[in-house]
Structure 1
């Protein structure tokens, strides 16, 4: 590894790296925001709630397999650094094959998955009916949605974040246009929102596969070289992703429970929480740009056995991330009413969302440390603590929810979610000294 690769980056270098990654990350939740915003043109909160329930089910399904993205970045970067063209191709082809397999299984099992998922969500009958229509179209594009994770990660691993940003913007623009056409033009409701998003995901995947750099990985000679690794390489990939898979399942189920318990309070409360959650998730994706920077440079420091560099990376990326979190909190505080109005026209939903706006304001500051530690531990490939601490934090959230929800209603639900973020931060902070000690001499 070269000195340049292991050097501690300046704050300016971190910002230059993080900015396009932030913007690319920020476009990810825009699919849900656009669907919710277009449905929000209707004064009926049941339509917003239907998209909330349907998109939550899809989030649980798709993000359970987000290791296709999280592991591909590191494997691609390692192959690029080693100058190994075969492994560079394998870093794309193996997760693409896995995405196709998993996506096909999800399509085949969509009926029992829907029965289980919507049974657990406990929403009103009219909400569930509309949510199932949204889900039906989105699940049909599962192989393409999962393949997009791997494709974007492979490009980011080669430091082509601007290209990824362009593809994400194109997908969201297409989604907005198609969803508006199907919902506002043809009056298809939540089913139209699901169809528009599914088509946007499919078209983006096909366009990315058509890029020359991607298409070259499917040359017969490259495929033969990659396939020579066979089952052993797939087994190694699955072992490496086991902890990530379990961690992601716990995280997505925790967030899904937030939607589910909001629905037990009222349909309007579920819709209001969905409006706020769209902006919370957007803020988290934005802050993840600094977590990605911590992952890249922190991983290089771990690979070089440079404990001092690892600590410096954690400090510099953390300072910038916290400053950005404060700016986001200020934005939510000053423009919260406008952000809510941007998504829904329902007076009832707006009033309920306004009442819980302080929780949205608090969320970036409460969550930023957890995001940064995620990046550092992923970069160091210390995934077991990420898995274990996520389970413990989810347990604390469940206890808080059991105690606070009956007493404080929706505010108790939001307080439990904030506690979940705090516990993740505190528990990973307790593991941080051991990680540093494991990295070479100081």
Structure 2
């Protein structure tokens, strides 16, 4: 759980510090709202890139956990280094491509303009420099997960998150006369240096602390093609997933600056809770692969039941805490009365969505561990085409506003949760 929330914590910390910068002119110019909206959409694009390209983490976790469960770890010796090299190449290509097209993406795809466009581009172009490091870090996390070790990822993430928070205050607000306040760009630099720290620690645990045997060879591992097929299907799935989330930002920007800033805060909170609940998907993923490799049907069912129960309990707790302490949380994240008056419109929908997320994410983890990437890809396509888009587009015509965006997200998650649940019940009977 602690290891999984690092990426949204980085974006939330950046957003919170930027949202609480005190400039006298903000009240008249709405500059803080623009900065918050900019960090929100840029942070979401960074998260989208991580989700899309870090699917190798789930793929390698599935392959390694199944090999671990069937006691065939020797076949992983050459696969793991090749996976790292592959992610390094993909990370650099993705970084270069998005660095030079970020302004176009924000302006033409996300309807950003003016100060929002300027700040979003500046923030993104700094944070994306660390994307190759993040990609390699997360893929190695998948290796650790495959051998049932989530402790190292937790330690690395806590250290990285702590570095990010400390540097946020220093770079964004300034530190005595030694560091000048850098605003939005300072938040991005803080996240970038945190990514470097996490990368170095990850290599240390893999090469020094782990007992995983690695062989560096030019001969392609026989498992590599299967790994790419799993990752490829998950990438296609995640591209559609993130296009849907980017579409919510686009519609929020259309509704106005206050709505865009409010949605940026709420969606970043949603992403934080999503990664929080993803802890149980991670657990379900690792154990599903292990038990599938061992051909243990009863353990597969217990794995789902226990992780789902825990995830639902945590989701209801998160919903309750958010409803009880909503004003304190929002005041911590942003200092703007317009946003404070806007967010209650979508808060009940947000809280309702979390238990639904718990079901969907846990089932995602189980099927990823089983290597059922094609099934998960198809479910995401179906949920987006027949759930999310109809509600969003029809609702936009009938009752435009932030509420319809969150109604579309709820319908999306309902289909993503219940279809896999009933399919698993069918599959386990035939296992």
Q: Which of residues 197, 209, 227 is equivalent to 1:237?
A: 227
Q: TM-score w.r.t. structure 1 length?
A: 0.87
C-alpha displacement at 1:127, in angstroms? 0.4
Query: Aligned-pair distance for 1:167?
Result: 0.6
**Distance in 2 of aligned mates of 1:153 and 1:51:** 28
Structure-2 residue corresponding to 1:61: 49
Deviates more, 1:277-286 or 1:289-298: 289-298
Distance 1:214 1:249, change over 3 A: farther
C-alpha deviations, 1:70-122, integer Å up to 9, x for none? 11222333444555565444343122112210121123323553244212010
Tell me if the contact between 1:292 and 1:375 (Cα under 8 Å) persists in the aligned partners: yes
Kindly indicate whether the alpha-carbon contact (under 8 Å) linking 1:283 and 1:364 is maintained by their aligned counterparts in 2. Answer: yes
2:330 alignment partner in structure 1: 340
331-340 or 313-322: bigger deviation: 313-322
- Give the equivalent residue in structure 2 for 1:40: 19
Corresponding residue number in structure 2 for 1:200? 194
Let me know the Cα RMSD of the aligned residues.
Answer: 2.3
Shift of 1:381: 1.7
Which range moved further: 352-361 or 197-206?
Answer: 352-361
Residue 26 in 1 paired to residue 5 in 2? yes
Select the residue among 232, 243, 246 that pairs with 1:253.
243
**For 1:358 and 1:111, how far apart are their aligned partners in 2?**
37
Match of 1:102 in 2: 90
Q: Which residue of 2 aligns with 1:149?
A: 138
CA distance in 2, matches of 1:302, 1:158: 14
Asked if 2 retains the 8 angstrom alpha-carbon contact of 1:298 and 1:376, the reply is yes
Cα deviation for residue 269 of structure 1 reads: 1.1
2:64 to 65, 76, 89: 76
Q: Using a 3 Å threshold, how does the CA distance of structure 1 residues 69 and 214 change in structure 2: closer, same or farther?
A: farther
Paired residue for 2:301?
311
SS class of match (1:211): helix
Give 2:219's aligned residue.
Answer: 228
Aligned to 1:277: 267
Aligned equivalents of 2:79 and 2:284: distance in 1?
21
1:133-153: per-residue Cα shift (whole Å, max 9, x none)?
011111211211111111222
Which deviations, in whole Å up to 9, do the C-alpha atoms of 1:190-219 show, x marking residues without a partner?
Answer: 222112111210221023213363588999
TM-score (norm 2): 0.89
Tell me the number of residue pairs that the alignment of Structure 1 and Structure 2 aligns: 414
Query: Runs (4+) of structure 1 moved beyond 6 Å?
Result: 215-219
2:394 aligned residue: 403
Whether the 8 Å contact between 2:20 and 2:335 is mirrored in structure 1 is yes
Q: Distance in 2 between matches of 1:199 and 1:408?
A: 40
In the alignment, what sits opposite 1:113? 101
3-state SS of paired residue (1:287): helix
Shift of 1:301: 3.6
Measure the CA separation in 1 of the matches of 2:285 and 2:307: 10
Question: Does the 8 Å CA contact 1:263/1:270 hold for their aligned counterparts?
Answer: yes
CA distance in 2, matches of 1:303, 1:81: 5
Distance 1:237 1:177, change over 3 A: same
Asked if the contact 2:57/2:139 (under 8 Å) is kept, the reply is yes
CA–CA distance in 2 between the matches of 1:107 and 1:25? 22
User: Please, which moves more after superposition, 24-33 or 168-177?
Assistant: 24-33
Q: Which runs of 5+ in 2 are unaligned?
A: 27-31, 175-179
Does residue 37 of structure 2 align to residue 49 of structure 1? yes
